[in-house]
Structure 1
Amino acid sequence: MGTRPGRSCPSEAWRVSDSYLNLLRAPGVARVMASQLVARFPTGMLALGILIHIETVFGSYGAAGVVLAAMSVGQALAGPVTSRMMGRFGARRVLVVTTVLCAGSMAVVALAPMQLWGFVVFALLTGLSSPPVQPAVRTIYPRLVDVGKLPRLFSLDASAQEIIWVAGPLVITVVSREISPVVGLLVCVAVTLAGGAWFITSKELGTVRIARSETRLGAVLLKPGVMLATVTGLLLIGAGAAVEVGVVARFGEGGLQAGVVLALAAVASLAGGLTLGHLPLTDWTLTRRLAVVAVGTFLAIYVSGVWWTGLAMVVFGFGIAPALAVMYTMVSDSTDFSESAEAYGWIGTGQLVGAAVGSAIAGFMIDANGPAGGFAVAAVVAALAVVAAALLRHARPKRTGADLLADAVSEG
């Protein structure tokens, strides 16, 4: 990369930051990125908000885990389906309907006095109606920048998403603690509607026509790289869900400490992604990064207090974004561009199934054994992820950047 006129030998850090700024200056990029981040911001708040609310109502983390599992199952079922529906009915129409239904279901969970089964039903509806913002964004981005700049744009987008996981837990815990869990969930409703409206009305969304998929639903899962990413993603996010429940149980459902500790994990994840993201990948890269996550979960079992738990969460978080980056790269390298949207949808579904199972099992283990039970569940699941990545390491595809560029050109 050459120097800019008037500047001699700029540092690598300056050149990287300048390239990201140039991306944001491209027409529509900053607006689309900001609006989709706001539209998705409740994803960093909702799980904790429901956990705090349901535990307050029923006095049971097991009950809260069941409700969270119902929402996650709904999201898992909806992901590939709503993405395909955008090709049939249009992105804006699908996003409007799902945004309104999702916000309405959240409001019922927050305000309606119900038995546990009622909360499960409306949490499931909340998950089923989750707006497919990510698939829509991935379709818009290639229209905003040249194909050669897409990897950098996706990297910038992935890094920016950590804002959701840093600020979201803090916002929901502060609101739930200082005001009430009900108000916390209503904040989620308001942000869902406001962010959804901003993204839906962006002119860039109106210029994109998402093509109807011609392949059989689920066929892409037969590709080894997609299957490896799905399995390890399920286990990684399952461990993360168990950690989240364990942190909230350790520091109290309304305590600010829980939000701080979870924010530390998110900051560490961002740091890990920026630190390790540029390194070349090998068959053992995913295994090593998942091992870092597993070490953090095991440490969390045996420590106590905000700072020691926070340190364990820093270790845990440092491996998350780098591990996810490997998974998403495997999906990209395993699929043609026409298949990638559905493939990413299935990766998301696997992760949500992991979140459902992890949070439910952790909830019951906490009721029986205290907060350490939640971290023990996380440690076992993370260890399984390490084993799976090691055993299936040869499924990692070996396609080159030239192969991917050729696909992009051939598909228009």
Structure 2
Amino acid sequence: MILFLGARPVVPRPAVLRPVAPRSVVPRPVTAPPVPPSPPVRPSPRVRRHGRGVTLTAPYRRIFAVPGTRAFTAANLLARLPMGMLSVSAVLMIAGTRGSYALAGAVVATGLTATALVGPLTARLIDRYGQSRIAVPATVIAALGSLSLLLCVHYDAPAWALFASYIATATTPNTGGMSRARWAHLFRGDPAARHTANSFEQAADELCFMLGPVLATLLCTAFLPEAGTAVAAALLLTGVLLFAAQRGTEPPVAPRTTGRPRSPLRLPGLSPLLLTFLATGAVFGSLEVVTIAFADVHGVRPAAGGMLALQAAGSCAAGLLYGLLRPTGPAGSRFLGCVAAMSALMPLPLAAASTGSLPALAVALLLAGMATAPTMVTGMGLLQSRTPAAQLNEGMTLAVTALLAGIAAGSAAGGWAVDHLAGPGPAYVMPATAAALALAVTMSRRKGLRSRAR
């Protein structure tokens, strides 16, 4: 009742005129009854859930609130998707038209070796002259190499022409490294934001390598054997052109020094990181080959792609969640913990394969993948803290080169294990061994991995 009265407007009563002599009348002030304070309004459950969601995604919302970050990220994702398409498309195109997986594998292996040699040189030029000035012509050369490979396959050119064409694709710039360099420049004074950005970039890598092979296989099998290579080259060129056009977030070119800059390989603490990346690449390479062989033995080879996608999905999800955590403690100790977690989870596929159950193996691959992204995120953060800004692209490309070399070695070791260890089930010991080797290297070089980065 009090609330009702308090809510009513209070209007003074009108004066009543009486036939008396006029006199001055002072009206009495009219005051409204006091209104009690309203009880606190509780937000609805939907609002509370939304509030928690905003808090949960706040680190990512904060980094993408910087002008220009969404534009260069979208363009870079478009340019990065072909990284998971080119090799698969080349194998399917060459094997489908020439009928030789050996020739297809040799061509791709040669291109991988050329990329490992040329990639750091391209990155050095990017550091010296800028992303837009070097990445665009380098991508044009790589796209022409893919187009040449497509034409050579289509018109039945000699085998040496296939090798020469695919070698030309080695000039493809490290698109992920260029994106990480932009984040490092934008948040050079904010380690927490760099951690979130590196986590997002690693999740993007996993997403592209998860979707790329699936898209390449669909294009090459549903349309033409050359369709995968053509689409990959077009996406790469379009994405790099759009990425290079975002000049507002491009890192400035460091001033030249009179002396010759020291190679990042000679920087203190970088060698242990590269060795760990090498062993981590061996985990990826052996896991892929052994999983394909396991599915083939059980008569479900088409399911191998989905099982490997689960491993990448686990890594992608873990990378995004890891980016929400605020890094604490020395970066070297965090890196050691991540490598130890990877070493502890990687034996799970071996245990699941011993049961012969495909669903159990799929779950084990999902869990095993959850430690790889945090390892790469922390490792890339360490690399950025130890590499001068003028050589950042070159340093990150060296890390990618170590990963590629490890993938090649792991693929060979996984194939050997499948043939010599009584089937693909026991061959899962190879990725577990590679993860243990990564932990051993990290622990043996623990002093070199200590960093002041937080």
Aligning the two structures, in what range does the TM-score lie when normalised by the shorter sequence? 0.7 to 0.9
For 1:383 and 1:220, locate their aligned partners in 2 and report how far apart those are by CA, in whole Å.
26
Change (3 A) 1:35 1:266: same
Residues of 2 paired with 1:255 and 1:372: CA distance?
15
Cα distance in 2, alignment partners of residues 286 and 241 from structure 1: 19
Q: Find the counterpart in structure 2 of residue 407 from structure 1.
A: none
2:172 maps to 130
Structure 1 window deviating more from structure 2 (174-183 vs 317-326): it is 174-183
Written as runs of structure 1 = structure 2, the 5 A alignment for 1:13-412 is 14-56=54-96, 63-111=103-151, 112=153, 113-114=156-157, 117-126=160-169, 128-141=170-183, 144=186, 147-148=189-190, 149-204=193-248, 208-211=251-254, 214=257, 216=260, 219-251=263-295, 256-276=302-322, 278=325, 280=328, 282=333, 284-292=336-344, 294-296=346-348, 298-299=350-351, 302=354, 307-362=359-414, 375=428, 377-401=430-454
Query: Taking structure 1 as reference, are residues 23 and 274 closer, same or farther at Cα in structure 2, changes over 3 Å only?
Result: closer
Q: Structure 1 vs Structure 2: percent identity of aligned residues?
A: 25
Deviation larger for 299-308 or 381-390 = 299-308
My pick for the range that moved more, 132-141 or 184-193, is 132-141
State how far apart, in whole Å, the 2-side matches of 1:186 and 1:345 are. 25
Q: What is the distance in 2 between the residues matched to 1:66 and 1:373? A: 27
Larger Rg: 2
Shift of 1:102: 1.2
C-alpha contact (below 8 Å) 2:200/2:320 kept by paired residues: no
State the distance in 1 between where 2:99 and 2:339 align. Answer: 38
Q: How many Å separate the matches in 1 of 2:54 and 2:398?
A: 37
| Partner Cα separation in structure 1 for residue 180 and residue 360 of structure 2 | 38
Instruction: Give, in whole Å, the separation in 2 of the partners of 1:165 and 1:307.
Output: 22
Q: 1:146, 1:224 → 2: CA distance?
A: 20
Residue 182 to residue 40, structure 1, CA distance change in 2 (3 Å): same
The 1:123–1:235 alpha-carbon spacing in structure 2 relative to 1, beyond 3 Å, is: farther
SS at match of 1:241: helix
My pick for the range that moved more, 315-324 or 340-349, is 340-349
Code of the residue aligned with 1:102 in structure 2: it is: A
Deviations 1:246-291 (A, max 9, x none): 4445557x96523322221111002222445536462741431330
Q: Following the alignment from structure 1 to structure 2, what is the Cα–Cα distance between the partners of residues 60 and 248?
A: 18
Q: Which runs of 5+ in 1 are unaligned?
A: 1-5, 402-412
- Shift in alpha-carbon separation, 1:13–1:217, aligned structure 2, 3 A: farther
- Cα distance between partner residues in 2 of 1:179 and 1:373: 37
Give 3-state SS (helix, strand or coil) of 2:173's partner. Answer: coil
The answer to whether the 8 A contact 2:178-2:393 is kept is no
TM-score (norm 2): 0.74
- In 1, are the aligned partners of 2:79 and 2:238 still within 8 Å (CA)? yes
Given the two structures, how large is their TM-score scaled by the length of structure 1?
0.80
Cα deviations across residues 376-409 of structure 1 (Å, max 9, x unaligned)?
A: 55444333223322322332223044xxxxxxxx
Give the 3-state SS of the residue equivalent to 1:346 in structure 2: helix
1:66 and 1:360 in contact (8 A); partners too: no
- Structure 1 residues 380, 47: closer, same or farther in 2, change over 3 A? farther
Consecutive unaligned residues of structure 2, counting only runs of 5 or more, are 1-42
Cα deviation for residue 45 of structure 1 reads 1.9
